[in-house]
Amino acid sequence: MSEPEVSFLDLDIRRCPHEAHRELREESPVYFDKSCGMYMVLGYDEVRDISADVETFSSVTGLLLVKEGAIQDRINAIFEAEGVVPTNTLVVADAPEHTFQRALVNKAFNAIALKKMDEFIDRTVSRLVSEFVGHGGGDFYRDIAALLPSLIVADQLGLAPEDFAKFRRWTDAVVSEANPDNSEEQQIAITHTICELHRYVSQKADEYLVNPRPCLLSDLVNAELDGRRLTRRELVSMFVILIAGSHDTTTSAMCSSIRRLAIDKDMQARLRGDHTLIKGFVEEVLRTECPVAGLFRRATRDTVVGGVPIPAGSMLMLRYGAANRDPKTFADPEHFDPERGNASRHLAFGHGPHTCLGNMLARSELNFVVTRMVEGTKDFSLRGGEEAVGWLTDFIVYGPNRISLDAVPA
């Protein structure tokens, strides 16, 4: 049986890839997508193995952050004149740079810092949910999900409240910068906006070198390992990556969680009656509605994945959402079960050295949002059925970008 012809550039597949994942994975754990020239890795074991093999599969692909192509010279000239020329960091870096950068960030993301973030998250979520429910609902995406990650990153940047409107514009630019559908002029306009963020981060970094304060950016500015600190290019590029990683993915997972509860009143009632189920519920949402459609790797040598030959230099996309529904790992994978024993084995945050460093922060946000929504309401439902939900058509991020709710206060 020949594989079906599928293009992951198709907007309908981007909006809902699950059926395409299932059909293709039944034929092979790896599918070559002619439309974008990439090998799509669909099997759980294959995605996990590639994530761990950083020698055969490089994270430096020229597709994210430091890109390749004719337009990049024009963009780099803007960065050089107005901001900071990006350098590959964290998720798009290889050892030894990645090892050094990750070690410094891990020092900043220590238990004390995460505890302080939890306190801020809970206060912020409680306020946002109270306002949302008090108005009888609204667009959950706009009023809570898209707002919360920006508020958290702004707090960790030490952003002045009056600068938040600018920060939201900068954050939107960082997220949209990775869209492969951008025209050249759109990409140029986005670059100018991102340079504003570069200058702001750099200015704050100078302040924190002289007067440290308890926030993530200050910790990164002043952290050192074996006498070495982050360069300014590394620092700014790293913060751009942190913003991108904390924004649409967490936002989408929040919307997927609340949509699940809005259409499944029995589940909503179960969580309202037993908060101990919330942690498992969140993990199962991350498994079934993985907010990161996939990330990229470049083969450094000829190899074979899932029986498919992969030539050196080939681009691969690790399709986490497909891997998370692989029946070889998750029994009855289409069934949603908040008490699934192995749900936390999902790959929503990646695997290996590049596991998302903000995974505990994202989990905290999701748990607080679900908890406060079921605590603060007697009921919430979609305002107008499934037409109340809009869906992203992004190549990298999957999930709702609009979810209108009616909410009844507790």
Q: pLDDT for 97-110, tens place per residue?
A: 999 999 888 877 77
pLDDT of residue 291: 95
Q: pLDDT of 109-118, one tens digit each?
A: 777 777 888 9
What's the rounded Cα separation, in Å, for the pair 250 and 355?
15
What's the rounded Cα separation, in Å, for the pair 132 and 143?
7
Q: pLDDT of 185-194, one tens digit each?
A: 999 999 999 9
User: What contacts 402, CB < 8 A, 6 or more positions away?
Assistant: 139, 141, 142, 388, 389, 390
pLDDT of residue 67: 64
Q: Which of 35-39, 177-181, 221-225, 312-316 has the lowest mean pLDDT?
A: 177-181
pLDDT of residue 171: 82
Tokens of 335: 């069934």
Tokens of 325: 């529904």
Amino acid at 364: S
Task: Please check the confidence at residue 2 and state whether its pLDDT lies above 70.
Answer: no
Task: Please check the confidence at residue 134 and state whether its pLDDT lies above 90.
Answer: yes
Q: What global pTM score does this model have?
A: 0.91
pLDDT of residue 84: 92
Task: Please check the confidence at residue 80 and state whether its pLDDT lies above 60.
Answer: yes
Q: Which of 97-111, 133-147, 341-355 has the lowest mean pLDDT?
A: 97-111
Task: Please check the confidence at residue 312 and state whether its pLDDT lies above 70.
Answer: yes
How deeply is 78 buried, as exposed, middle or buried, from its count of CB atoms within 10 A (0-12, 13-18, 19+)? middle
Mean pLDDT of the residues in the chain: 91
What's the rounded Cα separation, in Å, for the pair 192 and 172?
13
What's the rounded Cα separation, in Å, for the pair 244 and 379?
32
pLDDT of residue 182: 80
pLDDT of residue 387: 94
Task: Please check the confidence at residue 68 and state whether its pLDDT lies above 70.
Answer: no
**Region of residue 381 (left: phi > 0; alpha: psi -120 to 50; beta: else):** beta
**Better-predicted residue by pLDDT, 409 or 108:** 409
Local confidence band at 309 (pLDDT 50, 70, 90 cut-offs)? very high
Q: pLDDT of 274-296, one tens digit each?
A: 999 999 999 999 999 999 999 99
CA dihedral 329, 332, 336, 342 (to 10 degrees): -30
Q: pLDDT of 218-245, one tens digit each?
A: 988 998 888 999 999 999 998 888 877 7
pLDDT of residue 66: 66
Q: pLDDT of 156-179, one tens digit each?
A: 778 777 777 788 888 888 877 866
57-58 sheet: strands from edge to edge: 30-33, 38-41, 315-318, 295-299, 57-58
Domains defined for the chain, CATH in brackets: 11-409 (1.10.630.10)
Task: Please check the confidence at residue 310 and state whether its pLDDT lies above 50.
Answer: yes
SS (H, E, C) 72-99: HHHHHHHHHHHCCCCCCCHHHCCCCHHH
Neighbour count for residue 42 (Cβ, 10 Å): 29
Mean pLDDT along residues 320-328: 98
Local confidence band at 1 (pLDDT 50, 70, 90 cut-offs)? very low
**Better-predicted residue by pLDDT, 112 or 37:** 37
pLDDT of residue 168: 80
DSSP H helical segments within 303-352, as ranges?
Answer: 320-323
Task: Please check the confidence at residue 3 and state whether its pLDDT lies above 70.
Answer: no
